[in-house]
Chains A and B, each alone.
Chain A
């Protein structure tokens, strides 16, 4: 517990009787790039606002370096926020925007001028100090918003979907820029997004949220390769989620065919959800496959072909492969044991939004 920078403990929050966060507990370590990922309404922004001090939890405690900051106003917190849609002060120049926090703290003019120069250089906007925010593009405004936050040397930078308003190319550039900034500054980033690719690209740790619950916490690799439930599997990338029966340890039956797997401890003859990533479905000759199907759809995607293979029971398997199988051809389906991910079936609505603690 001693090395946790931020500790959210049993946070509850509801708006107009609607539960947004349900008993949320989360640790954030120093120098970590942590991403809160989930669909809109999952509670990720509310979590960020609670850390930033803009929203008070109904119950629960926020600890910052071990101190209770639950009721501390935002201006007293040692963290800064980069808001959605930038929230620059449109009546001030870029330099005045960046200087805002430092002037409030009563820093000397020389120090402030130095910092403005340094920050503009850091976000690659040298010489923009005298321009007005309106005259900058979306990407530039976002970088100014970041500069305005980091000159205050916060211990934590909170970012609320900062790239949401930018177009794809710019977004990708900014992702690299943010990783670079994070490494140069050596501070903690808490990042909110609904874009799973963004989360996978940038994060050290991803917190997948849904309906006010944390679904899974882990490294991008772990979240992608070993999703803990169907929601995570579905939300992070494409996947085939099929009904299966766990015959015994390390053996699962899918659509009547038996597949070897590596999971155990689910019991015998238990219905389960099976997750198989499209790139893990291997196509072969019909007689060599564990399951048989027909190619019903084919698209060339650049790096790979995207195919749909329909098995006799009507299920359409999404397949990514560098080998092309034309539409109408019969194929066999194989999956390597370690590419099969077994998950318990949710027994109720509530359990569908399982609360997982690390």
Chain B
């Protein structure tokens, strides 16, 4: 048994880390969020979400991230099933293929898509080369959804894969044995048993998608403003840290809710792979 003081010593670096890089910044956000430039308390920064321009950005962010999350789920589920179905040895190469892009710089990957989707980009050049009309993809909500799906898909695949590969194959066999066809087996057994993975996957895609400003910046141009962009601009351009922090608190509220939901469904931490 470690003595309490010894335990405290071992934990020290982590306590320091959490305090310096999590707790203090969080308090600073809260402090800025509830004060104005003269330092007196106010809720104006938070109620500023009701300003039509901000509210529109929040709604759009929610809408785009919900759509992206749904698309990610629909793409990732069959993929995760295929990955889980293969033996461990074979699938590890496949799993690697999905993890590998995540090791590349996020900005770099998104900028690459900018080049591809541009009006005079690679895709449109190819289209016009074979005589097809050019597509207007860049700087639309569609391009942002595309960017979100592309960037966050692995975060959906991995928890699902983790969850699905933990299902005892005999449980699936048992369902078949008891008379269920493959569709019934999927709906009544596979899907419910993968709920922890689904919830984790949804959280891990929805949260970064909701808060992103880089994807909307690069693929949406200045035309599509998400709540993330609004906050970013408050900090970097308008230099109004108070308003930026206030709006951040609103976002944080959404994030905490989805974290709680995910924690309720994923008690064993099945979905947390990364």
Contacts and interface: CB of A to CB of B under 8 A. Distances in A.
Interface in A93-149: 100-101, 104-105, 145, 148-149
B179 A89 contact: no
A81 B177 contact: yes
A83 B193 contact: no
Given A89-B189, A91-B192, A104 B178 contact: yes
A75 B192 contact: no
Interface string B189-224: 100110100000000000000000000000000000
A90 interface: yes
Interface in B156-188: 168, 170-171, 173-181, 184, 188
A105 B173 CA distance: 17
A319 B181 CA distance: 56
A210 interface: no
Given A100-B188, A104-B184, A87 B178 contact: no
Contacts of B192: 91
A297 interface: no
A174 to B, nearest CB: 19
Contacts of A91: 192-193, 195
A152 interface: yes
Contacts of B173: 52, 54, 74, 81, 83, 87
A83 B179 contact: no
Given A89-B189, A104-B184, A74 B168 contact: no
A87 B174 contact: yes
B186 to A, nearest CB: 13
A54 B170 CA distance: 10
Given A89-B189, A91-B192, A100-B188, A105 B179 contact: yes
Contacts of A85: 168, 170
Helix, strand, loop or mixed for chain B's interface? helix
Nearest to B185: A75
Interface in A189-233: none
B179 A75 contact: yes
Interface residues of A, number: 24
A80 interface: yes
B176 A83 contact: no
Helix, strand, loop or mixed for chain A's interface? loop
A85 B168 CA distance: 10
Interface in B116-141: none
B170 A84 contact: yes
Given A85-B168, A87-B168, A89-B171, A80 B193 contact: no
Contact of B178 (A53, A54, A80): A80
A152 to B, nearest CB: 7
B180 A75 contact: yes
Given A85-B168, A90-B193, A100-B188, A152 B179 contact: yes
Contacts of A101: 178-179
Interface string A180-196: 00000000000000000
A83 B192 CA distance: 20
Contacts of B171: 87-90
Contacts of A75: 176-181
B259 to A, nearest CB: 22
Given A100-B188, A104-B184, A87 B179 contact: no
B218 to A, nearest CB: 42
B175 A100 contact: yes
Contact of B177 (A74, A88, A90): A74
A73 interface: yes
Nearest to B168: A87
A73 B179 contact: no
A86 to B, nearest CB: 9
A152 B174 CA distance: 13
Contacts of B177: 52-54, 74-75, 80-81, 149
A101 B178 CA distance: 5
Interface string A327-346: 00000000000000000000
Contacts of B176: 53-54, 73-75
Contacts of A73: 176, 181
A148 B178 contact: yes
Interface of A: 52-54, 73-75, 80-81, 83-85, 87-91, 100-101, 104-105, 145, 148-149, 152
> Which 6 pairs from chain A and chain B are nearest by CB?
A101-B178, A87-B170, A83-B170, A74-B176, A87-B174, A104-B179
Interface of B: 168, 170-171, 173-181, 184, 188-189, 192-193, 195
Given A88-B174, A91-B192, A100-B178, 19 more contacts: A53-B176, A54-B173, A73-B176, A75-B177, A75-B179, A80-B177, A81-B174, A81-B177, A83-B170, A83-B174, A87-B173, A88-B171, A90-B193, A100-B175, A101-B179, A104-B184, A105-B179, A145-B174, A148-B178
13 contacts: A54-B176, A75-B179, A75-B181, A81-B177, A85-B168, A85-B170, A89-B175, A90-B193, A91-B195, A100-B175, A100-B180, A101-B178, A104-B179
